[in-house]
């Protein structure tokens, strides 16, 4: 039985059971096939069924997965004949955006897989710039740009980032170094001694000061300054939005002063907003 369905992400389509042999993996996958099957997911679907339909689009006489590759693979392992699908009509660009957004929201991708997906969108497929992509996936342009910059590191270092031996923020500090051996040396020190990204930055600065030609470093520094400026503006906008919300909430609080239960509840939320502003201010200072 088919029925119209509007998902929380505003995708509109129909929900229906689809024969599993008519479903195909997407042309562009953000992670390897070896990561598609998860034993915990298989056990969950075996016990509880498929709680969330996979999102597919029509592709000729078949259906192409937009979101839910792991759920699809788990259903195949279980030998299911049919899968509940949310069938939508999307072009290639929109399908890529929806798939990427879901993977980011579910934290299914490691930093390097994210970086390569971002690069594919911006450079290989030419579907838009950093700002457009950032808007589509609800991230800042600085986040997208810094992720893509990681791909300038040697493959051995990318593997350490992929395995989280080196954090993405620490890896970003290594990018100004031109010598891959020096990048590896500092990365090894960071891993061995458990250094933070700030401490890694100091090591990189010391290393760079020993080099005679600082032109490349200055260019990269200006590049990062521009990124940080955009990030600070994003923080400023967020702080302003919260302050506006507090002002509106204050007027509501005043109108219910006679009802002390509602008054106390709203005051708690007002204090939470104030606390969140303080958090944003502290995070903004870290960028300086």
Residue 252 predicted with pLDDT over 50: yes
Average pLDDT, rounded, for the chain: 82
pTM over 0.85: no
- Quickly state the pLDDT bin for 115 (edges 50, 70, 90): very high
- d(CA 151, CA 158) in angstroms, rounded, equals 7
Query: The tokens of 228 are what?
Result: 């940080």
Give SS3 for 83.
strand
Q: Which of 75-79, 165-169, 227-231 has the lowest mean pLDDT?
A: 227-231
Task: Please report which confidence band the pLDDT of residue 3 belongs to, taking 50, 70 and 90 as the band edges.
Answer: very low
267/218 Cα distance (integer angstroms): 49
Note whether 63 and 119 are same-domain residues: no
- 3-state SS assignment for residue 88: strand
Residue 207 domain-assigned? no
SS3 145: helix
Domains: count for the chain: 3
**Rounded Cα gap, residues 233 and 283, in angstroms:** 12
Domain range enclosing 122:
110-152
| HSE (side-chain half, CA atoms, 13 Å) at 71 | 22
- What CATH number corresponds to the domain at position 79? 3.90.1530.10
Neighbours of 151 (CB within 10 A): 14
Question: For 75, what's the count of Cα atoms within 13 Å in the CB-facing half-sphere?
Answer: 24
pLDDT at 216 over 50: no
Determine which of 8-22, 152-166, 220-234 has the lowest per-residue pLDDT on average.
220-234
Q: Examine the domain organization and report whether 67 and 146 are in the same domain.
A: no
| Residue recorded with tokens 């259906």 | 63
As beta bridge partners, residue 56 has 65, 87
């Amino acid at each position: 039985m088919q029925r119209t369905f509007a998902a929380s992400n505003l995708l509109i389509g129909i929900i229906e059971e689809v024969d599993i042999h008519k479903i195909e993996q997407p042309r562009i996958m953000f992670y390897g096939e070896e990561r598609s099957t998860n034993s915990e997911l298989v056990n969950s679907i075996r016990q509880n069924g498929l709680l969330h339909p996979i999102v597919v689009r029509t592709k000729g006489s078949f259906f192409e997965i937009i979101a839910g590759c792991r759920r699809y693979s788990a259903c195949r392992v279980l030998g299911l004949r049919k899968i509940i699908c949310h069938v939508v009509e999307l072009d290639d660009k929109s399908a890529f955006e929806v798939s990427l957004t879901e993977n980011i929201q579910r934290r299914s991708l490691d930093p390097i897989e994210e970086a390569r997906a971002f690069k594919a969108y911006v450079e290989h497929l030419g579907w838009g710039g950093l700002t457009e992509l950032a808007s589509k996936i609800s991230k800042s342009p600085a986040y997208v740009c810094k992720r893509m910059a990681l791909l300038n590191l040697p493959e051995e270092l990318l593997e350490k980032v992929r395995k989280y031996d080196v954090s993405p923020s620490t890896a970003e500090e290594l990018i100004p170094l031109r010598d891959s051996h020096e990048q590896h040396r500092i990365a090894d020190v960071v891993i061995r001694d458990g250094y933070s990204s700030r401490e890694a930055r100091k090591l990189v600065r010391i290393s760079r000061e020993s080099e005679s030609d600082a032109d490349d470093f200055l260019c990269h520094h200006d590049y990062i300054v521009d990124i940080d400026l955009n990030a600070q503006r994003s923080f400023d906008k967020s702080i302003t939005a919260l302050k506006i919300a507090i002002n509106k909430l204050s007027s509501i609080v005043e109108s219910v002063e006679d009802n002390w239960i509602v008054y106390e509840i709203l005051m708690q939320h007002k204090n939470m907003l104030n606390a969140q502003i303080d958090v944003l201010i502290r995070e903004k200072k870290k960028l300086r």
